[in-house]
Amino acid sequence: MMIRAAYKVMARDGVHRVPLQLIATEAGVSKGLLLYHFQTKDGLVLSSLEWVLEATERRIRQRLAESGDPAGAMSDVIDAIWVSPEANRDFFRFYLDGVEHQARSPEFDEFADKGRSIMNSFYRELIVAGVERGVLRVEDPTVAAIQMRAVIEGMFLQWLQTTDWRANHSRYKEHCRQALLRVLGATSS
C-alpha cells in the first residue's frame, strides 16, 4: 500500500519534487511510519523501483502463460509492456527519474545492478526459449537481451517526447514490435 502510493505520487509529480508527507497522505499513513519502514526517501524510491520492475516482470510472465503461443511470444511481451498511454507514461517518467537518481546516488548502484539483472535475465530467458523453438535467430542471447531492452527503452523515450503521446501510443508500440522482431531475427513459422 505504501509503495503503491509512493509510485503513484512520484510518477505523477516526479521523484525529486515529492515530499514524503504527500506520499504519506496518499497512503493514509504518517510520515513517521514511512520513515520507519524505509528509513529515507531514497529507501522508499528504491523499494518503489524494485516493486515496479518486479510487477512488470510478473505481468509479462502472466501474459505469456495465458497466451501459450511460442511464435507470438515477442508480440505478447510488447503487449504486456505497452499497456496504455497513461500507465506507460506514469511508469516511464518514474523509471527515468529512478535512473537519473541512480546515476547521481551511489546507494542506488545496487538497484541498477538488480534492475539490469531482472530485465536482462528475463529477456534472455525469453530469447533462449524463442531460439530453442526456432522462432528467433540470435548468436548471443545475452547480447540480444541487452539489445531488446535498448529497443524497448529507446522506443519509450521517443514516444514520451511526442506532443500527442496518447494518440501516438499505438504507433510507437507497433514500431517497437517491428524493431524488436528485426533485432531478434524473428522467423515466420
Residue 118 lies in a domain: yes
- pLDDT tens digits, one per residue of 31-52: 999 999 999 888 888 888 888 8
Q: Residue 72 belongs to what domain range?
A: 53-183
Q: How far apart are CA 64 and CA 82, in angstroms?
A: 14
Q: How far apart are CA 126 and CA 123, in angstroms?
A: 5
What is the torsional sign of CA 83, 86, 89, 93? negative
Residue 134 lies in a domain: yes
Q: How far apart are CA 176 and CA 154, in angstroms?
A: 9
Side-chain-side CA neighbours of residue 71 (13 Å): 3
Q: How confident is the model at residue 189 (pLDDT cuts 50, 70, 90)?
A: very low
| pTM (predicted TM-score) | 0.84
Number of domains, the chain? 1
Residues in the chain: 189
pLDDT confidence of residue 71: 65
Residue 1 lies in a domain: no
Concatenate the DSSP letters of all residues of 86-127 into one string.
Answer: HHHHHHHHHHHHHHHHHHH-GGGHHHHHHHHHHHHHHHHHHH
Largest CA distance in the chain: 57
Residue 61 lies in a domain: yes
User: pLDDT at residue 120 above 80?
Assistant: yes
- pLDDT tens digits, one per residue of 79-107: 889 999 999 999 888 888 878 877 777 77
Residue 35 lies in a domain: no
Q: The domain that contains 74 carries what CATH number? A: 1.10.357
Cell output for 180: 524488436
Lowest-confidence range among 12-16, 33-37, 169-173, 176-180?
A: 12-16
Q: How far apart are CA 10 and CA 52, in angstroms?
A: 12
Residue 89 lies in a domain: yes
Residue 92 lies in a domain: yes
**Burial of 140 (C-beta count, 10 Å sphere; 0-12/13-18/19+):** exposed
